[in-house]
Chain A
Amino acid sequence: MKKVIVIPAAILLLILVAFATMGAYRVPTLVVEFVEKRPAVVASVEYTVDGLTCRGKSRGFAGMISGVEGIVSLTTYVRSNTAIVEYDPTLTDPVEIETAFEGPIVHEDEDEEYFPFKAKK
């Protein structure tokens, strides 16, 4: 019955394999293009954002930065809570973008402010 050790060994090995290979299945959760024509110069900034945990939250995040002039695109990956924002450096900068998404949302029903996103430093 020494073969029983195959079971926990296989479980452990395959969990390690899963964590090691998950990058192979990495695709964006959300891709949003904010402009029809991309500007001549585009810079990008990557944020790790607390609260960016699903596609719905990604849409909320997109809504919060959509008002910033110069935003070109947003790509999110919820596993790593990553938001990659492309922007026109002549019109905005990473600090302004961060300020936009860290701002409050006012809940329609409760008239209460809450802060759904916070950049991890």
Chain B
Amino acid sequence: MRVLRTIVQTLFLAGVVAVMIRGAMGLTASTCETYCPFAGFVALYSLLRYKTYTCAMNELHVALFVSLVALTFVTKKSFCSWVCPLGTVQEWIGKAGRKVFGRYVRPPIAVDRILLNLKYVVLVLVLGLTWTVWQGHLGFRAYDPFYIIFTGFQGHETLWFSIFIGIGVLVAAFFVPMVWCRYLCPLSAVMDPMSRAGFLRLRRNPGLCTDCGICDEACPHGIPVATADEVTARNCTNCLECVEVCPEKGALELTLFGK
């Protein structure tokens, strides 16, 4: 499972790096943003209200966002742990941090619960600013680590503080796993309600589970898998790290429509 996921992650990461290199060489006008479904979500406003697109938003963004909605309903937030290059990079950095510290470093539960809601604030801010102050312009680029990092810190809207944001997210991911995805990513906030409904989800078999808690420790999103009968958590990305480390075969199983 882990090998399959790593292959898929590597393919998408390689794709976005290839776009970045080709862009730097002047071989394409495309950037990582060309394939970002979050731009599709932002574009819905102008598409539905004015029947037009602003800034660089276009029909591919919207089509990718619609596909993302379908994907999330079927497989929860698998986009984050299987597709998103920023998620991949953070995961790998987080695993390096785990090796150094011997475990994932997590904020206290009370703090974590508060931080988990920050991404909704970010989402409201991004939408609000885009359609008021920024007048339909994708002004979030300067603050978006996906854009900042995967344009090689050289995107045309990368400002001086953007570099600190990009590097800051990468460094923070070493200490707190998936820090951007968990606490700040506005696309993650959009996917949350759909992710709860995701048909492909993990189920714990209490008869086989020994309550060892290894799955809880392995989850980069800090989901308490060991105490759940079914993992419906909005943050579950179906990375299946918990299944990978589970010593009891069959104690954790992936179910589709409950079967």
Partners in one complex: yes
Mask: chain A, 1-28; 1 = CB below 8 Å from B; 0 = not: 1011111101100110111011111111
Contact B47 A27 (CB under 8 A): yes
Nearest-Cβ distance from residue A94 to partner chain B, whole angstroms: 23
Q: How many residues of A contact B (CB 8 A)?
A: 35
Contact B136 A79 (CB under 8 A): no
Contact A26 B59 (CB under 8 A): yes
- List B42-57 residues whose CB lies under 8 Å from chain A: 47, 51-56
**Residues of chain A with a CB closer than 8 A to B59's CB:** 22-27, 79
- Count chain A CB atoms within 10 A of each CB in B53, B56, B82, B256 and give the residue with the most: B53
Interface presence of B75 (CB below 8 A): yes
The residue in chain A whose Cβ has the minimal distance to the Cβ of B8 is A8
The residue in chain B whose Cβ has the minimal distance to the Cβ of A15 is B67
Interface presence of A48 (CB below 8 A): no
**Residues of chain B with a CB closer than 8 A to A22's CB:** 59-60, 62-63
Interface presence of A69 (CB below 8 A): no
Q: A11-B82, A25-B47 given as contacts; is B67 within 8 A of A18 (CB)?
A: yes
**Residues of chain A with a CB closer than 8 A to B56's CB:** 53-55, 78
A1, A23, A30, A78: the one within 8 Å of B254 (CB): A1
**Residues of chain A with a CB closer than 8 A to B5's CB:** 7
Where the two chains meet, the residues of B that have a C-beta atom closer than 8 Å to any C-beta of A are 1, 4-5, 8, 29, 47, 51-56, 58-60, 62-64, 66-68, 70-71, 74-75, 78-79, 82-83, 136-137, 200, 238, 240, 243, 253-256
A to B CB contacts below 8 Å, 30 in the list: A4-B1, A4-B240, A4-B254, A5-B4, A6-B74, A6-B200, A7-B78, A7-B200, A7-B238, A8-B4, A11-B78, A11-B79, A14-B67, A14-B68, A17-B63, A18-B60, A18-B66, A21-B63, A21-B66, A22-B59, A22-B60, A25-B59, A25-B63, A28-B53, A31-B52, A50-B29, A55-B56, A78-B56, A78-B58, A81-B29
